[in-house]
Structure 1
């Protein structure tokens, strides 16, 4: 085959197979290992604002196969919310008592926030829990979204739904370490702006964890 005909990147199916394998391999993805805000801020401890047990939560890292690339679904939260208003986030939220686990919670929240039926998602696996400075233990659930699925943001929670190329998010050159002063200390975090969307904080930290699990 002439060199110019060789695909420059893995096919969609090859990449998804690699992701699924890495998520299932404890050598790459230790399910009992914690990642989180404290990794870049060891002096602050895993929970910056809360004491006691964290609250369990889950988010969906939803991947869509498009014609030319693979994309990840993200949301921009509405600006009237009491917390994290206007920020970029994965669909997700607290794990309720009736949820059977993180996967069920992530899929339920995705349906509530962006109208994504659980039947349109094929779960590939989960990442190690991510501990947030606000006192949550977030389990990122990775899933393949049917490209034909129609996503409709719930205006009570989501301002807009948008997609970012998976290649962009998994490129470490796009993972910038930044800091802000918080309670008299410099607090460090990742940021990865994309086409006017400011991806940072917990969302960027989870993306970094995803990269370190499946592509590093």
Structure 2
């Protein structure tokens, strides 16, 4: 495995190479394990709130270069949605039968949710599938977004689009391990509060998976 110093994270000339190499290394190894909510909660199982086969989904971890460094693009979901209303999320959703795999699904969903044209994204690689307690098998797709890209949130799904510095999200000091009671059991999850934005649950878990793939 190629070695990179952690400081290269904030160097615009180096971080894409670092990420691409780390994700390629993980893919060559065949991903050592699927990750997910069950890693922090092994007694609950990978699909704690779902019976039946997992449903395939994909999300885009889109990283855009700014003057002060790379940022990750996130969304605040609208408050009227049936699931995860008002929560912070990565653009993405279920893989449709017409999608040619998770990459196409992630790019299609990003286009539908935030108006990001697929041709404005340069792919870096995929992370190991992330299993959620609600029965989804989510493939995180990592890519760089051209700096001139314009985001147009779909008001039916997205309240706002915002960016968080990649350096903040890749700093384990910002990864809080919290817990709450669920069906009489204590359930653990990651949270990464950023100003008024509260990143937690599956979104924080996927970001944690990116950190572990690149830096551990």
Q: How far did residue 215 of structure 1 move?
A: 1.8
Distance in 1 (CA, whole Å) between partners of 2:87 and 2:29 is 27
Deviation at 1:212, TM superposition (A): 0.1
Inter-partner Cα distance in structure 2 for 1:99 and 1:64: 25
Residues 7-18 of structure 1 aligned to structure 2 (within 5 Å): 10-18=10-18
3-state secondary structure, aligned to 1:193: strand
1:211/1:28 CA distance change after superposition, 3 Å: farther
- Partner residue in 1 for 2:69: 69
CA contact (8 A) 1:29 1:127 kept: no
SS in 2 for 1:156: coil
Distance 1:8 1:127, change over 3 A: closer
Deviation per CA, 1:76-131: give whole Å up to 9, x if none.
00000000000000000000001001000000000000000000000100000000
Higher strand share: 2
1:147 is matched with 147
Task: Work out the number of aligned pairs and report it.
Answer: 210
What are the within-5 Å matches in structure 2 for residues 37-186 of structure 1? Answer: 37-186=37-186
Q: Paired residue for 2:3?
A: none
1:22 and 1:28 in contact (8 A); partners too: no
24-33 vs 156-165, which moves further: 24-33
RMSD: 1.5
Deviation at 1:52, TM superposition (A): 1.8
| Structure 2 gaps, min length 5 | 1-6
Q: Give the Cα separation in 1 of the matches to 2:13 and 2:47.
A: 38
Deviating beyond 6 angstroms after TM superposition, the runs of 4 or more aligned structure 1 residues are: none
CA–CA separation in structure 1 for the residues paired with 2:25 and 2:40 = 25
Contact kept? 2:190, 2:204, Cα under 8 Å: yes
Residues 142-172 of structure 1: CA deviation (Å, up to 9, x unaligned): 0000110000100000000000000000000
> Does the 8 Å contact 1:60/1:141 carry over to 2?
yes
1:27 CA drift (Å): 7.8
* TM-score with structure 2 setting the length: 0.94
What corresponds to 1:4 in structure 2? none
Q: Which residue of 1 aligns with 2:209?
A: 209
